């Protein structure tokens, strides 16, 4: 899976705020994603993120 800044992704597990939708804000070996609902940002390794996402949202 390739990630680009601004992409919306859906994770299998919901965030604590109840949303499962995230926006990519930084790419690289570690990806930074921001929760669309509560704006919390987290850093995650690309290989880990690949396992956690459900589907890209277009
Ligand atoms: Zn959230």
44 alpha carbon to ligand 1 midpoint, in Å?
15
16 alpha carbon to ligand 1 midpoint, in Å?
6
pTM over 0.85: yes
Cβ–Cβ under 8 Å, residues 44 and 33: yes
What pLDDT was estimated at residue 58?
Answer: 53
Residue with the bigger pLDDT between 13 and 57: it is: 13
Q: How far is CA 49 from CA 1, 15, 30, in A?
A: 9, 14, 9
Q: How far apart are CA 44 and CA 30, in angstroms?
A: 5
20 alpha carbon to ligand 1 midpoint, in Å?
8
Confidence label for 1 from pLDDT (cuts 50, 70 and 90): confident
Q: What is the pLDDT of residues 3-42, one digit of tens each?
A: 999 999 999 999 999 999 999 999 999 999 999 999 999 9
């Amino acid at each position: 899976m390739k990630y680009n800044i601004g992409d919306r992704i859906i994770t299998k597990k919901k965030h604590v705020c109840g949303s499962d939708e995230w926006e990519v804000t930084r790419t690289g070996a570690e990806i930074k994603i921001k929760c669309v609902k509560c704006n919390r940002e987290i850093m995650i390794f690309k290989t880990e993120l690949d396992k956690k996402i459900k589907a890209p949202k277009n």
